[in-house]
């Protein structure tokens, strides 16, 4: 097994703390696991994340995917001098999730470079069925 990709001091508590009073907090997203090369979280399917047909809104899935990857990407770089920001994201929505459910997402890096990162994100429902698959490209920038 290779060494974890995370910078020293990266914890679930620190990941969750950075999301306080943001859209992440507003959607009810919670980071639940840091593996050696992945970050995982959950998001409820409720009034904050459904569309008028009372199923998970595709935009909420994309926000969830980008949140997982962006937080993970920022935990890989030296946060004193660098930040990572999204450039492009795509998503394939594969199955509906009705209101009252919960989704779980897992983000893993595909490429970690000095100027860019690419992450893949899989979102599943409570029965572990694939709901959405997404990929994001992020830019590594100097921290202002």
Residue written as token pair 């970690």: 112
Distance separating alpha carbons of residues 79 and 52, to the nearest angstrom? 39
- Structural tokens at position 7: 């910078």
Residue written as token pair 């509906």: 96
In this structure, the strands spanning 116-124 and 130-142 are: antiparallel
Which of these is catalytic: 33, 66, 99, 104? 66
For the beta carbon of residue 115, count every other beta carbon within 10 angstroms.
7
Distance separating alpha carbons of residues 27 and 47, to the nearest angstrom? 9
- The answer to whether 99 is a known catalytic residue is no
Alpha carbon separation from 37 to 16, 44, 113 (Å, rounded): 18, 24, 15
**Active-site residue list:** 66
């Amino acid at each position: 097994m290779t060494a974890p990709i995370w910078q020293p001091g990266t914890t679930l508590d620190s990941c969750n703390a950075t999301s306080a009073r943001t859209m992440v907090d507003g959607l009810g997203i919670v980071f639940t696991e840091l593996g050696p090369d992945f970050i995982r979280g959950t998001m409820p399917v409720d009034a904050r994340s459904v569309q008028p047909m009372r199923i998970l809104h595709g935009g909420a899935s994309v926000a969830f995917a980008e949140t997982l990857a962006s937080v993970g990407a920022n935990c890989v770089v030296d946060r004193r001098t660098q930040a990572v920001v999204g450039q492009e994201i795509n998503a394939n929505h594969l199955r509906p999730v009705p209101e009252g459910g919960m989704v779980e997402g897992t983000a893993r890096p595909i490429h970690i470079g000095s100027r860019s990162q690419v992450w893949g994100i899989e979102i599943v429902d409570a029965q572990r069925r694939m709901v959405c698959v997404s990929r994001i490209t992020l830019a590594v920038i100097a921290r202002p």
